Amino acid sequence: MKVLRLYCLLTLTIFSTASAQNADIRLLREINLNRNTQFDGFFKGVTDTTVPGAFSVPVIIMGVGLIKKDAPTQRKAVVIGAGLVASSGITYVMKRAINRPRPFVTYPDIQKLTDGSSPSFPSGHTSLAFATATSLSLEYPKWYVIVPSYAWAGTVGYSRMHLGVHYPSDVLAGAVIGAGSSFMTYRLNRWLQGQKK
């Protein structure tokens, strides 16, 4: 009886995984192979803004805080930077642990339009973008910060699929890791500030 249960569980797991993988590649093919090629340059540009854009945010905020001698602004810069570092660290470890091949390696019909040499899961660009958007939105909770931040992060995530270097599940995981890392860093900072008081 136990063997039968184990067999059923194993079969269900394999079927679910295969079904999810099929949906993943179907959606990627829809995005990548049926894309409007006129937007290739735009999405390449968006992808290229990710790393410099993400890491320039805490640097600029820290610069403003130092110029104004404003300790709360300096603290915000540190928290945003910590969120980016946490997100990058988690993404790096997961990429190496899971070691999922890029979609264009497994499926030669996927058109690769930008660099992608590290393992596929999760998307590092998406993780960084959502870490930045979440940190900014938590530290500066105004619609004119939140809307453009998440619009940029969402466009970065979509660009990784448009350019053929990530599966949709890579992008979804990257968004969750990025947003979650920044949220946890923000909450940890609030807790530490409360402990000091």
pLDDT in tens, 88-117: 999 999 999 999 999 999 899 999 988 878
Q: 170, 24 in Cβ contact below 8 A?
A: no
Q: Distance between CA 170 and CA 167 in Å, rounded?
A: 5
Given pLDDT bands bounded at 50, 70 and 90, which one contains residue 197? low
- Cα angle 49, 54, 59; round to 5: 120
Asked if residue 141 has pLDDT above 70, the reply is: yes
Instruction: List b or e across 41-79, with b for residues whose CB sees 16 or more CB atoms inside 10 angstroms.
Output: eebeebbebbeebbbebbeebbeebeeeeeeebbbbbeb
CB 104 within 8 A of CB 115: no
pLDDT band for 22, please (50, 70, 90 cuts).
confident
Boundaries of every domain in the chain: 42-196
pLDDT at 9 over 90: no
Is the domain 42-196 a CATH 1.10.3720.10 member? no
Confidence of residue 194 (pLDDT cuts 50, 70, 90): confident
CB atoms inside a 10 Å sphere around CB 86:
20
pLDDT of residue 191: 86
For residue 188, with 0-12 CB atoms within 10 Å meaning exposed, 13-18 middle and 19 or more buried, which class applies?
middle
> How far is the C-alpha of 18 from the C-alpha of 92, rounded, in Å?
25
d(CA 35, CA 29): 9
